[in-house]
A and B are shown apart, each in its own frame.
Chain A
């Protein structure tokens, strides 16, 4: 059964600038994926407890202990742009 997808909105939310051809292509691919999920959803699952994670595991924690952080220069060297001790990014529009 066809699923209603606002493909342009999905692209916008993901900050993807796509041509109309690409939008149509992804629209049909996403349709296929969702239709497949619908088919899985149609399986009889009465008596099967809901699973929220594939691993049969809970509470994987770590103790509250400090580990060494990275060297700042090494980190900032990887950045597209740095300004002294900071990462530098283009101005954030719409915010002051």
Chain B
């Protein structure tokens, strides 16, 4: 694609996990039995009136603040009119020219490069119901009817629109991943692609370097970060090939098919979309005053980028810091252990390495293990004072995770404690030296090579429990003193 540049903007939809829906008291519950969390408001029955959920508004403001948006003082809800069976009112309540949040940004890192992606706006709307296309044969192409489940109808949905500041599929992926982390850190949604609580659509166009923006296509239906990256890469290549062969890109919505690895035209826009937006007459205007705005900013947690940076500054490897912050709960435990005085690097390595591996192997979560910050602290102290070798510490850690008890109790019970007490090891060293006078003589003549052999002998005599560092030191002292 030499000479070509892609211009990418991403629209993100995040479902908020509030207790109740956006405009009614039906519960927000993923995986509920079909059509059991519905009422006159979310079914669009005549005469039903919406009332906004204050917590949902609080949460969208948190999201906007996290992207350093301007929180708009006076905003409004509008109706977006269109006919589709998953939208029983024939309009969606959304925001139009006065959204809650505007002009923010998200900093990302991709291919070793820092990029600032502008956030145009963050607005509030309601999710639609879910349709399932069916037929007697079960094949989509034969679909004769659609089945509707309105449980999702009216779930608070936040749309985050980026500026077209993204240039590569890798950057798009980094943007999406960082956005997920930010949203999760705010505690407003679990933002899971596979459950649909976050969805990414990409607007893509290509141009020759320096030219104006080309015609864009919108690509939908990416169910993982990997497919987002793949779909964008495919679409860029498709558009370049189209233009190079003398054709033109058509402005349209395209559907990504994971199986074939291709995008295809979904909706031809014979008629340009005309949603006839108008102000929602059933809802009064919104006023987010300075006090409210200040409170939202003041209540923000430490954001992932800041947290990664802070943890890395304690001496923890950057990658390890990223792993812990990604998981969230690991970073919480790390912070707690360090505040108890644990050595940061050691604890960081355990959490990002051994603990992550344990959780993956056992298909469990940190909360379901028995690991506490106090355990990490005790373990780090034991390693620090030489009571445990780093290998034994890993064994003990796995047992703590499995709920066997505290590190010291486990180490004692399984006889894993290391002998690093000089007094206790002295006799063992003396005995080994006495058994190997020729080796000792070598050492005394200045040839230190056989020291490893002697350490090995002491290790064998102690059943592997001696601290090899201490043993080596003792032998060295004996040889030079002798």
Contact = CB atoms under 8 A, between A and B. Distances in A.
A89 to B, nearest CB: 5
B229 to A, nearest CB: 24
A63 B148 CA distance: 28
Contacts of B52: 60-62
A90 B56 contact: no
A20 interface: no
Nearest to B19: A64
A6 B150 CA distance: 35
Interface in A78-96: 83, 85-92, 94-96
Interface in B405-423: none
A51 to B, nearest CB: 9
Contacts of B12: none
Contact of B286 (A59, A69, A92, A95): A59
Contact of B148 (A59, A70, A86): A86
Contacts of A91: 133, 143-146
Interface in B96-150: 131-134, 140-141, 143-150
Nearest to A89: B85
A60 B285 CA distance: 8
Interface string B50-85: 011111110000000000000000001000010111
Contacts of A87: 35, 85, 147-150
Nearest to B23: A62
A63 B36 contact: no
Interface residues of A, number: 36
Contacts of B25: 62, 65-68
A58 interface: yes
Contacts of A66: 19-20, 25-27
A76 interface: yes
Interface string B8-29: 0000000000111000111100
A77 to B, nearest CB: 12
A60 B23 CA distance: 11
B84 A92 contact: yes
A58 B81 CA distance: 24
B35 A58 contact: no
B26 A69 contact: yes
Contacts of B40: 70
A57 interface: yes
A94 B56 CA distance: 34
B55 A63 contact: yes
A72 to B, nearest CB: 5
B57 A85 contact: no
Given A60-B52, A94-B267, A89 B43 contact: no
B39 A55 contact: no
Given A13-B274, A66-B27, A83-B145, A92 B54 contact: no
Contact of A86 (B27, B132, B141, B271): B132
A1 B18 CA distance: 51
A52 interface: yes
Contacts of B211: none
A35 B26 CA distance: 43
Interface string B319-340: 0000000000000000000000
Contacts of A83: 134, 145, 147
Given A53-B284, A91-B143, A64 B55 contact: yes
B279 interface: yes
Nearest to A15: B83
Interface string A1-24: 000000001001101000000000
Given A83-B147, A91-B143, A75 B35 contact: yes
A64 B20 contact: yes
Contacts of B271: 12
A52 B146 CA distance: 39
- Residue among A60, A64, A83 with the most chain B CB within 10 A? A64
Contact of A64 (B37, B54, B285): B54
Give the interface centre of B25, B56, B85, B271 by most chain A CB atoms within 10 Å.
Answer: B25
B35 A76 contact: yes
B38 A70 contact: yes
Contacts of A9: 274
B315 interface: no
A13 B51 CA distance: 28
B34 interface: yes
B438 interface: no
Given A65-B19, A88-B145, 13 more contacts: A12-B271, A58-B285, A61-B54, A64-B19, A64-B53, A67-B20, A67-B25, A72-B34, A85-B34, A85-B35, A88-B148, A89-B85, A89-B147
28 contacts: A13-B276, A15-B83, A53-B285, A55-B284, A58-B284, A59-B284, A59-B286, A60-B52, A60-B283, A62-B54, A63-B55, A65-B20, A66-B25, A66-B27, A67-B39, A69-B36, A69-B39, A70-B38, A72-B33, A75-B35, A86-B35, A86-B147, A86-B148, A88-B147, A88-B148, A89-B131, A89-B146, A90-B145
Interface of B: 18-20, 24-27, 33-40, 43, 51-57, 76, 81, 83-85, 131-134, 140-141, 143-150, 266-267, 271, 274, 276, 279, 281, 283-287
